Chains A and B, each alone.
Chain A
Amino acid sequence: MNEITLVEAVNLALASELAADPRVVVLGEDVGVNGGVFRATAGLLERFGKDRVIDTPLAESLIAGMSVGLAAQGFRPVAEIQFMGFIYSAIDQLLSHASRLRNRTRGRLTCPLVLRTPFGGGIHAPEHHSESTEALLAHVPGLRVVVPSSPARAYGLLLAAIRDPDPVVFLEPTRLYRLGKEGVRDSGEALPLDTCFVLRDGGDITLVTWGAAVRETLAVADALANEGIGAEVIDVATLAPLDMPTILESVGKTGRCVIVHEAARNVGVGAEIAARLADEGLLTLHAPVKRVTGYDTVMPLGKLEQEYLPQTGRIEAAVRELLEAA
């Protein structure tokens, strides 16, 4: 089993599915000859040819819209938007078409596309390269929003996303692309979508998170374990549709919940989880649900981005507040 990074796992999944399924095509800016600005598509052009690994003109609306057309024709397009900050002109295609083509034709035409994009802060990137705006997409009916947080989950979830008969937005945490390796076997085995992953068991508090923030959250859970505090860590992984039963079960056990995400707090996915806990799990709670998130400010440039991101100190403080409350 090879030890590989998250971005290498993305590459492995793309190669695996291109080899296994002739309907799969990869498209986007710089994905061919250059192998992607993050190298996520490196080597694919050489292996699968320029018909299936397509360097597109610089036009995000085209990339998304063309994927809708390919998908409706029975292909499995896996499109790359170079950074999430450039996804906005493609969102019209996702909201107005990809997410509703099946519904508005009563199943006559379908849209099995994947739109991959790197997202999130922490790599000291230029402006517009660090935002986490997953809530915009998670709000859209008919769209799946998937976020891997490890090489193995990147591989397994991307295979699942490509094989899924409906559109999936696949958000890859840029900060985790090369941060640590994990043994990943090219088994062709997908992981389940629409399911949270419990990364660590614990009986005292539930920490719910996704993407790059999984890393800091796990670090806090490790530190708390030294004090004999059991923190259960849940990686939501599929932000929409949301697997609430796993979260409710954990909170039913611990009675406390902190939600951690990089995105701004206001109307974030954390708000939905907190509302659902209030609705369906209120009587099991010993303390209020807390959120540790990015601020409701414009994502700052590099010098302040660590201040913006949920650091271990802020997560730990929220945990202690809840443990002291009840």
Chain B
Amino acid sequence: MPRSVEFAPARRAARRDRDARQCVARFEVYCTRFLDHDGRVVADLPPFARDARALLPMYRAMALTRQFDQRAVALQRTGRLGTYPSSYGQEAAEVAIGAAMTRADVLLGTYRETGAMLFRGVEMHEILLYWGGDERGMAYAGAQAPREDFPIGVPIATHAPQAVGVAYAFKLRNEPRAAVCVLGDGGSSKGEFYEALNAAGVWQLPVVFVIVNNGWAISVPRETQSRAQTLAQKAIAAGIEGEQVDGNDAIAVYDVLDRALAKARRGEGPHLIEALTYRLSDHTTADDARRYRAPAEVERQRALDPLLRLRTYLTREGVWNDADEDLLRAEHDARLEQAVNTYLAADAPRPSAMFEHLFERLPAALQGQRDSVSEGPSE
């Protein structure tokens, strides 16, 4: 069986050839970045980004995500929404995931994928409904809704094997589509993640795993999750390609995703991307991150704000200015106002709704319980 052997210095070559231990494999992990922290171009831009105006849809979506998060947190603080996980600081990674996917691709994400969900056409009032305690929020009933996307994944990484099943379905039907599984740095410690990554490699499935590494799994920092130098290198054990990307650089995340997705859709196998970003918010509105991380660290990270980085670049390129920004915020405020009103105006679900989608047809054994619940407000 052929094997690669590491190169040894020439003078020791003869001796090394007789070593019992020979190098059989070597690996490298790359990280991609186009914009530095100050929004300056540090590498040749990919074709899609050469006209800065093409980046405006992503910028607008990032800004909307932030405004949505701020509004959701405000609703929670005033008792009008349940626990909510903000994606403050992660907007570039989230929105670029949504932007790089086609409508035919399928998203399987965590509870912090608001940016990707909005970009894919999930309605704002539906996301609010869900976090407000109403299952109808995951019905994705809107006209542009990604009907095959999985609902928000609450247990950590259990959606990774499901993404393998979705990708296997695409492969069986010979469809040029990809499944995108988004999880966190914490999720990369779970068995399901490894099982899924491994199987995707075995079958060369059209699935792209994205670890949105925001540095913290609630209170547990990245270095406590794994001794591995990068999380991207976890792909190596599964025999698939893995790489890092600056998760606060929307251009880089889009570029890396776009290439990985195109490869997957061509039937050339899965990919793992580790997007390096930072959770500027608490884990959820029920969390207080000051208990476990230093304010100075958060302040340092606040200076690396992905939204500010892209805005700086777009402004420097002359395709964005303060007036545009004011207009955009006003437009978003109006849309948010409408979404919040729709959410708050939704009737409470009928108690019988508990039984409506348990099975396709309610078994006779449950009919008595169904009949015993009071009707209450209509759905």
Contacts and interface: CB of A to CB of B under 8 A. Distances in A.
Interface residues of B, number: 43
Given A61-B191, A104-B135, A243-B365, A97 B158 contact: yes
A106 B169 contact: no
Contact of B357 (A52, A70, A102): A102
Interface in A102-151: 102-110, 141-142
Interface string B184-201: 000000011001101100
Q: Give the most central of A52, A70, A244: most B CB within 10 Å.
A: A70
Contact of A57 (B165, B199, B363): B199
Q: Give the most central of A101, A105, A241: most B CB within 10 Å.
A: A105
A65 B167 CA distance: 12
User: Chain A interface residue count: which class?
Assistant: 35 or more
B165 A77 contact: yes
A72 B165 contact: yes
B166 A93 contact: no
Contacts of A165: 359-360
A241 B363 CA distance: 7
B221 interface: no
A56 B365 contact: no
B364 interface: yes
B172 A105 contact: no
Q: Give the most central of B159, B167, B195, B366: most A CB within 10 Å.
A: B195
B235 interface: no
B202 interface: yes
Given A25-B172, A70-B169, A243-B365, A102 B358 contact: yes
B160 interface: yes
A74 B147 contact: no
B288 interface: no
Q: Give the dominant DSSP class at B's interface.
A: helix
Q: Give the most central of B164, B166, B359, B364: most A CB within 10 Å.
A: B359
Contacts of A57: 195, 198-199, 202
A191 to B, nearest CB: 15
Interface string A46-61: 0000011010110101
A63 B191 CA distance: 13
Contacts, number: 142
B147 A65 contact: no
B267 interface: no
A56 to B, nearest CB: 7
Interface stretch (B22-30, B43-51, B148-156, B277-285): B148-156
A66 B159 CA distance: 9
A166 interface: yes
Interface in A66-108: 66-75, 77, 89, 92-93, 96-97, 101-108
A64 interface: yes
A142 B357 CA distance: 9
A282 interface: no
Contacts of A107: 139, 356-357
Contact of B195 (A62, A73, A194, A241): A62
B191 A89 contact: yes
A65 B163 CA distance: 8
A241 to B, nearest CB: 4
Given A59-B195, A61-B192, A62-B199, A108 B158 contact: no
Interface string B136-151: 1011100000011011
Q: Give the most central of B140, B154, B358: most A CB within 10 Å.
A: B358
Nearest to A73: B169
A96 B158 contact: yes
Given A56-B199, A62-B199, A166-B359, A105 B165 contact: no
A69 B165 contact: yes
B161 interface: yes
B359 A65 contact: no
A45 interface: no
Given A72-B150, A92-B155, A66 B161 contact: yes
A103 B357 contact: yes
A49 to B, nearest CB: 11
Interface of A: 25, 51-52, 54, 56-57, 59, 61-75, 77, 89, 92-93, 96-97, 101-110, 141-142, 165-166, 194, 241-245
Shortest Cβ-Cβ A-B pairs, 10 listed: A69-B165, A65-B161, A73-B169, A241-B365, A66-B165, A62-B195, A106-B139, A59-B195, A69-B162, A241-B363
22 contacts: A59-B161, A61-B158, A62-B198, A66-B162, A69-B165, A69-B166, A69-B167, A70-B169, A71-B165, A72-B162, A73-B148, A73-B165, A93-B162, A97-B158, A102-B360, A103-B358, A105-B151, A106-B138, A106-B356, A109-B150, A194-B364, A243-B364
